[in-house]
Structure 1
Amino acid sequence: MTEDRNEPSVFVARLLPADFTLDRSKALSVQLYQLLRDAIVTMTLQPDDVIFERALADALGISRTPVREALLQLSREELVRIAAQSGTFVAPVKREQFAESALIRKVLETASIRRAAEIITAHELEQLHDIQEAHRRAIERNNTVAAIACDNAFHATVCAAARLPRVQQLVEFARAPIDRVRHVTVRDPVVADLTLKQHQKVLEALEQHDPDAAERALREHLDDAYARQQAAYDANVELFLGR
């Protein structure tokens, strides 16, 4: 991490896509929350990076109030830390936080997939097939950001099929530390292909409306992924803990 990462102009350039515009008809704080959260989860903003409220507000031509509201929500999710008299910084990915997130995800997803296997519709199964195909294309293009988005979409669609929207929301929040690790370390095409095969096994169990097989396939997938993510975390621990 170089020192110029924490220059206001560099921060704004990293954060704002060239075509980014705010929709003034919608809540600005919600849009800023999503913008900042995406940048943190994808590791565009890394642990200990400074978040320049004024520079961001000035670049967008808005007051600092919606920026602060967005940062307060991110602070509640432990994605930023607000230090009195010092500023606002991207939070580290702590080992215990990462492990807890994996546990929460496993408990919630393996419980919900049993319900999904019983009531999933033909349309939802078709959606999962489409996601699998998009995931395969992202891997072929070596687009890791798109591949992770497809991976997450697959799991979200399974959760949605269980008709448990609050569980789906909790999984989304819990997954943030895991995704931060993945966006740094997921580069191995062999691992990407393995994920596709594991997802296919889950999908086949859902097509059979077999709760036991679906839970077993998902549990094996999540356990395998967590073991690899733990190793990746350990190999990059200085980055995740910040300075």
Structure 2
Amino acid sequence: MIYYIQKYGGGSRLLPKSTTQVKRTSIREQVYLRIQEWIISGELKPGDKLKDQQLADALGTSRTPIREALLRLEEEGMVQTKANSWTQVAPVDIQQAHRLYPMIWTLEKLAVSFAQANIKPEHIRQLGAINEELERALEQENALDAQQCDARFHQVIIDLSANEELIGVLDGLKKKLRRYEVAYFNGFSGAEQSVEEHKAIIAALIDGNFAAAAENIEINWKNSFRRRFAALETNGFANVLLEDE
């Protein structure tokens, strides 16, 4: 085992180099993450009013961490407020989606190039199994399960890139996209085509044609981009505006 010396109180001691601090999640952080998840998943929809006391009762906490969480979410663009009037879930920012999608498909193509040496037959089988789960979720019209299956499919390849910086950047970008994703799978407007596009990615990986796999990932994202906006309009996500009253 490798050790390092930590100095304290005029002396020093040996500690394992692998020592990590215990992670603690405060009540404030838990409240923030829970409300954020409700918004991202679509349980709280654009235009839904957010009342401090109602949220505090639901989460079993005081109003202070609720207010702090809503302030953070407002800074992130997920919540909107009108002074002395109301707080509500913000409408989906279509322009943000236009910025995010090209970034994501470009970085996922890069992930394929990093993942080449790490992709094994068992990973390809895993992709096939996840895609079958996606197909079943779509048949059952389960939007959340479908979104999660789609995310897991892409995450397999991203994780195999073994590039922590790339993984971190994509994780942050995709968190912002989840609101669009749930709306997309909730509408099922051509969402089943994602299954076929995933099959094309898998086929390219089986052939060892990583360039084709990367191109098929871009095709999947570009087609999904077009289909998602049709779904957003169908479900009214793109048309929720601030109320004046």
Q: Which TM class, normalised by the smaller chain length?
A: 0.7 to 0.9
- In structure 2, the partner of 1:109 is 108
Q: What CA deviation, in whole Å up to 9, does each residue of 1:179-224 have, x standing for no partner?
A: 3334334356672332111112112323344321111110111111
Shift of 1:133: 2.3
Structure with the largest fraction of helix: 1
Q: Distance in 2 between matches of 1:241 and 1:127?
A: 42
Q: Aligned AA for 2:153?
A: F
The answer to which structure, 1 or 2, has the higher relative contact order (CA under 8 A, 6+ apart) is 1
User: Structure 2-normalised TM-score?
Assistant: 0.74
Mean Cα deviation higher: 159-168 or 145-154: 159-168
Q: Secondary structure at the match of 1:191?
A: coil
RMSD: 2.8
Shift of 1:150: 0.5
Q: Distance in 2 between matches of 1:195 and 1:160?
A: 20
Question: How many residue pairs get matched?
Answer: 219
Q: What CA deviation, in whole Å up to 9, does each residue of 1:18-39 have, x standing for no partner?
A: xxxxxxx853334333322232
Shift of 1:49: 2.0
Shift of 1:85: 3.9
Q: What CA deviation, in whole Å up to 9, does each residue of 1:92-133 have, x standing for no partner?
A: 212211211212212221221221233224443343233122
Structure 1 residues 123-162: aligned runs within 5 Å: 123-162=122-161
Q: Distance in 2 between matches of 1:73 and 1:121?
A: 42
Conserved 8 A contact 1:121-1:161:
no
Q: Distance in 1 between matches of 2:77 and 2:171?
A: 14
Structure 1 residues 1-243: aligned runs within 5 Å: 26-176=25-175, 178-186=177-185, 191-234=190-233, 236=236, 239-241=239-241, 243=243
Distance of aligned partners of 1:144 and 1:61 in 2 relative to their CA distance in 1, 3 Å threshold: closer
Shift of 1:228: 1.6
Q: Distance in 2 between matches of 1:242 and 1:51?
A: 14
- In structure 2, the partner of 1:11 is none
Q: Distance in 2 between matches of 1:158 and 1:240?
A: 35
Structure with the largest fraction of strand: 2
Mean Cα deviation higher: 100-109 or 58-67: 58-67
Q: Secondary structure at the match of 1:128?
A: helix
Shift of 1:238: 5.2
Shift of 1:142: 1.9
Shift of 1:87: 4.5
Conserved 8 A contact 1:117-1:210:
no
Distance of aligned partners of 1:78 and 1:206 in 2 relative to their CA distance in 1, 3 Å threshold: farther
Q: Distance in 1 between matches of 2:67 and 2:202?
A: 42
Conserved 8 A contact 1:77-1:173:
no
Conserved 8 A contact 1:114-1:214:
no
Gaps of 5+ in 1: 1-24
Q: Aligned AA for 2:204?
A: A
Distance of aligned partners of 1:190 and 1:46 in 2 relative to their CA distance in 1, 3 Å threshold: closer
Q: Aligned AA for 1:120?
A: I
User: Structure 1-normalised TM-score?
Assistant: 0.75
Conserved 8 A contact 2:56-2:62:
yes
Mean Cα deviation higher: 52-61 or 64-73: 64-73
Conserved 8 A contact 2:188-2:231:
no
Q: Distance in 1 between matches of 2:215 and 2:51?
A: 46
